[in-house]
């Protein structure tokens, strides 16, 4: 276990869990938990503060995700439902319901596709565009504040390592086992 220097080896919640597991099942290598378990833990514990941002604007995370995907796609802020639910990793039925709610709130509208009569394009309304932008700005502020414990260099390092991992998970995480 060659470890270069132990200066800031914080004993966080996940480290405590790993020690419990080592006591209970000493032969199991929990290195996956050190990375993926922490990513999950951080995601889970960062969520309440972020959800409060969305809630202030009458949105839940799922609804915001739809609006944000449309907004960052750029003008004319239009996507096909199929693109949306695949990108959001939810079922097609789940997306239909989200769109119904957002449409009732006047934040998106469905327009008929000119090239495929089966498809309804989903479009951000001006109100939806405004709502998404404000919520996104506040979200980014909150998330940035959560990184206050890290130096700029650490953030960059962390981002780079996570990107490398993400690329690998994208390639090997999804497919069915052989």
Q: Which residues of the chain form contacts with DNA (CB under 7 A)?
A: 60, 62, 80-82, 89-101, 110, 113, 116-121
Q: How far apart are CA 166 and CA 173, in angstroms?
A: 9
- State both tokens at 171: 């390639």
- State both tokens at 74: 């750029």
14 or 95: whose CB is closer to DNA? Answer: 95
Give the count of residues interacting with a copy of itself (CB under 8 A).
Answer: 77
Least CB distance from residue 60 to a copy of itself, whole Å?
15
Q: Which does 72 bind (CB under 5 to 8 A by kind): a copy of itself, DNA, none?
A: a copy of itself
75 or 115: whose CB is closer to a copy of itself? Answer: 75
6 or 114: whose CB is closer to DNA? Answer: 114
Q: Which of 49, 17, 55, 12 is nearest to 33 (CA)?
A: 17
Q: Which of 71, 84, 66, 65 is nearest to 129 (CA)?
A: 71
Q: x/- contact string, 38-77, with a copy of itself (CB under 8 A)?
A: xxxxxxxxx-xx--x------------------xxxx---
Q: How far apart are CA 173 and CA 171, in angstroms?
A: 6
Q: Which does 111 bind (CB under 5 to 8 A by kind): DNA, a copy of itself, none?
A: none
Do the Cβ atoms of 113 and 45 come closer than 8 Å? no
39 or 90: whose CB is closer to DNA? Answer: 90
Q: How far apart are CA 19 and CA 37, in angstroms?
A: 13
């Amino acid at each position: 276990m060659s470890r270069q220097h132990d200066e800031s080896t914080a004993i966080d919640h996940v480290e405590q869990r790993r020690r419990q597991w080592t006591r209970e099942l000493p032969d199991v290598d929990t290195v996956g938990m050190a990375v993926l378990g922490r990513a999950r833990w951080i995601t889970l514990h960062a969520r309440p503060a972020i959800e409060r941002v969305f809630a202030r604007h009458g949105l839940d995370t799922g609804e915001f995700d739809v609006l944000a995907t449309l907004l960052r796609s750029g003008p004319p802020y239009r996507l096909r439902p199929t693109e949306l639910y695949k990108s959001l990793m939810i079922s097609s039925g789940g997306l239909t319901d989200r769109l119904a709610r957002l449409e009732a709130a006047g934040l998106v509208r469905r327009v008929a596709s000119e090239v495929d009569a089966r498809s309804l394009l989903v479009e951000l309304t001006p109100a939806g565009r405004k709502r998404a932008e404000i919520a996104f700005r506040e979200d980014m502020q909150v998330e940035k504040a959560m990184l206050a414990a890290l130096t700029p260099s650490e953030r960059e390092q962390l981002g780079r390592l996570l990107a490398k991992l993400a690329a690998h998970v994208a390639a090997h995480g999804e497919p069915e086992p052989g």
